[in-house]
Amino acid sequence: MKRLMMLVLATAILGLALGASAEPVKIGMITTLSTTAAYLGEDIRDGFQLAVDQEGGRLGGVDVELLVEDDGAKPEKANQIAERYMKKDGVKIMTGIVFSNVAIAVVPKVVRDGVVYLSANAGPSQLAGKGCNENYFSVSYQNDNIDEVVGQYVNDSAHQNVYLIAPNYPAGKDHLAGFKRYFKKEIKAEVYTKLGQSDYAAEIAAIRAAKPDAVFFFLPGGMGVSFIKQYAQAGLNEEIPLYGPAFSFDERLLAAVGPVALGVKNGSQWSHDLDNPANRQFVAAYREKYGRTPTLYASQGYDTARLIGSALKVVNGNLEDLAAFKAALRKADFESVRGNFSFGSNQHPVQDLYIREVVKTDDGNYTNKTIQKVFTNHVDAYAAECKM
């Protein structure tokens, strides 16, 4: 009788344990699905979802449940969502924030509360240097990387001087600082414009008069679309080559600027034509599922999902031992669509960076073509400041 009781008890415990492991791991995605930046969040989500769907609802063999909420690009709204994920859903893994200002508002708080946050886009310097945290991983980049690669490329080119233009807000200054870190020749002028400006006629006339060898601009979203159009309409694209970070040249914005962006060179950590098996597979699967070419945001969402999968596999879906999960994440033992990928001391990517050029495809669309690898295993500038 006693023995039977023991057997029943053992079965019950086993059943409980099995039940617990069958409960899917919840991943909380906070991203931007409204406002003009909606397509960025959409691509991060779609890239992430693709990785989950390819495993039939699992990552690393562990059942996962992806929760997605729209932050409307607003820090306070993102904070509310994060709060809800933690308190109501018991989420231990978060990702997805598009904008740096939102990330700065949300990430320090959630990582302090024991959540592992993996950035699929925003990589503000504040979280890479002194503000680094062992619960925070950037899978995308440190923001400056994308400008540094262009700075180095232009520095190595025949151009003797360059004209800089960015919006007058903190990120604008950061991006130009990233460029200047590797560009050692003459800065002809450094112009800051109003945030959200759409008419650049005055600035373009000033560029024409200043006759620089090259122009580097950081104007995200619609500002960049307006600037590139007007730059080409003024005929300057024939005379003074334009350079920028990848943000104004992702595959979806190219549909809006098309021919006027032809020939512009831009810096990125990824491109759909990178030749490695993981990337070929990803691009083909993404095109088939969503009917469009993935952007860098989609690639970041996909890599984030696969990185999470690699670590979930090691701990077998058990997040009770968060240290083991983080140790597995740090190994970055997954096939990144970028090829080389590892984490530096501040848990930001150590990766290769490329220069791409906007070209016209045979079917009349516009896309990026990788023309040169500028940095190999590039470490961001803030890693040394991180004491972890």
Partner 1 sequence: MILFAEQILNGLQLGITLFLMSAGLTLVFGIMKVINLAHGSFYMIGAYVGATVTAASGSFLAGILAALGAAGISGMVVELIVLRELYQRDHLDQVLATFGLIFFFNELTRIIWGKQPLFMDVPTWLQGNIEIMAGLVYPVYRLFVIGVGCLTALLLWFLFSRTRLGMQIRAGASNRRMVSALGVNIKLLYTLVFGLGTLLAGLAGVMAGPIFAVESGMGESILILTFVVIVIGGIGSVKGAVIGALLVGLVDTLGRAFLPQLFRLFLSSSVADGVGASLASMSIYILMAAVLILRPKGLFPSHD
Please give the residue ranges that form the binding site for partner 1 (CB under 8 A). 34-36, 38-39, 42, 168, 189-194, 196-199, 201-203, 205-206, 208-209, 221-226, 229-230, 233-235, 252-253, 255-260
Q: Look at strands 62-70 and 93-95 and give their pairing.
A: unpaired
Structure tokens at 289: 């599922």
Structure tokens at 114: 């024991």
Nearer to partner 1, 199 or 333 (CB): 199
As measured in angstroms, the least distance from the Cβ of 254 to partner 1 is 9
For residue 24, what is the DSSP state? P
From the list 222, 321, 269, the residue with the least C-alpha distance to 120 is 269
CB 43 within 8 A of CB 297: yes
Nearer to partner 1, 198 or 377 (CB): 198
Nearer to partner 1, 252 or 373 (CB): 252
As measured in angstroms, the least distance from the Cβ of 142 to partner 1 is 24
Nearer to partner 1, 233 or 342 (CB): 233
Cα angle for residues 87, 93, 94 (degrees, 5° grid): 85
Nearer to partner 1, 94 or 176 (CB): 176
**Integer angstrom CA distances of residue 345 from 133, 177, 379:** 11, 22, 9
CB 303 within 8 A of CB 341: yes
As measured in angstroms, the least distance from the Cβ of 59 to partner 1 is 26
Within 183-241, residue ranges assigned H as helices are 201-210, 222-233, 236-239
For residue 269, what is the DSSP state? S
As measured in angstroms, the least distance from the Cβ of 81 to partner 1 is 20
As measured in angstroms, the least distance from the Cβ of 222 to partner 1 is 4
Per-position b or e across 116-131, b if 16+ CB within 10 A of its CB: bbbbbbbbbbbbbbeb
Nearer to partner 1, 68 or 206 (CB): 206
As measured in angstroms, the least distance from the Cβ of 194 to partner 1 is 4
Tokens 């807000």, residue located: 169
